[in-house]
Structure 1
């Protein structure tokens, strides 16, 4: 028994000794941190804050990029009317009723400038919502939906519209009001979201997106005559109607064209010039490369360029490019529609990161009524 007590006492002394030594060792080794703990906390807070800002910024850009690929531009009788978004894998696109009012067949253009035929399979005479079926988009992954919960005042949102318009088709804001009612004959808007994100040309019929989750919250539908106030139809309020049309398409569509296209609609869309579209396409080309979305970038090239360059070699040519920043971009009419730009490329070589500036020139033109990047060349700026 005495022997056990002696061993136990020795072990206890050793443990206490190690603890005391460790304390003084740490105290001497990092005196600044122990003597000024507030400085440590402040610096760590700054680092974490900066990291979170970077992460949030990256997340926002990713949400926009992923959403844009599922937002479409809708045309009726060659007149640019508005937008829609892919809501299921059957190729069904949700939009506003006023966008497709009076039409049975429409044209639908995607972000990568592909064009498809669409057929209106459902439209309401009272609620400003419609569904267009696009067989060419069947099997495409749709946008994530929030159909169970309503948004609340203060929620951060994005309003997206036709990606084939101005780059300003993405606006940011918050839910600034709920349960708003208004009348724009023949439609009665009930329990609408009021949003501070302006409904700009190209936004009507597009999705209202939760900035943090990327989920669709509503359908952007109307704008106030004054001020930056927009209104969006909450998705939970109309999802049953939308799903009903998808399961059982309407065989006869109501004729609401005359009323729906009245001049008092403040959100009618406008067309965009070749210069504006060329400006957008080149920017979107580099944006796709930055997200390593080589398929979309390759799809923007003309058929001759694609025949001379396989997708595999195109992709391989950009694998070492970390990111591209467009410093300056100008669209000109020379012998063809020409885009000239100065870009800065962050490139990886032998585990090292280098930066190079390039002067690039692209020729753009139409193929099968779709604008494409027909050719391009670049040179390093010393």
Structure 2
């Protein structure tokens, strides 16, 4: 996808989360609008149980700015992964945390730290390939009240709060306004579109933290990148543009027969093994259906990956838009290997039109380094 060229002043921009790596150049005419806001320290307290994340919060009694900050910080976390340090926030009562993909890239498990400095283990249940969004599930945070999510887009001039852990300084809050709309550019491998430009200062470690409406306390976006010119200008991904994808990841993981986990011990029953094997294959097709080829490829065993590069694997699904697993069954074929069979329906583009084709598929599934993997597979089209 070609980059959008904005203006005449050349600036450098970086991803601002863990690792804060890739640097690229964009053109942008910008105003000197940064205003440094004080860091606010607030006390920790436990969240309360509530239903699934709401899309609006029309409280009968309007909260003060200080109350909004205090309530919000209880649901904002610091995330440590193999890439370094970033931020995230609870968006539902399943213990699911939204963050940036580049914060958790390359990690299946991460450490999540809350306002009261408690540390928990989180599992990456969804990660974008070109969209810089990921979801981490933290079982210990189930039923904790999430941040309310805005159902409308922000406007220029809206007052905002940016929460996160810039440079490792946890529980930091900066203030500002929405200073621009619909900013788009590319920082490989991620494509950013229709971003909010913000005046609230953000930097390395802020990535994945929430951008909050200072008047309502609702999440407007996910802080993601900064242009390094003088004071720096930050950008946030609108929550409305990624919420559907995020919810799909959460729902898929909740409904899956099993999440791929380390094998606890050798006393697992045969039925548990079979159920987990079927769950891995079901997850594989769920990822493919959402075009999350990175996560699907990660479920393949080492032999399969060594014989098929990621690029070749992804290319094989270029003309496939949706895959549905219609039937699945499993059986044990060896002491350390299972066979999963099924029927899938795939929507494939041919001559400019989509047609539905059905296939019989068979996979050999087994453990590698304590995790269930798809070792080999084959499929045959049903005529």
Tell me the TM-score normalised to structure 1 length: 0.49
Larger helix proportion of the pair: 1
Answer 1 or 2: higher relative contact order, Cα 8 Å, separation at least 6.
2
Larger strand proportion of the pair: 2
* Larger radius of gyration between Structure 1 and Structure 2: 1
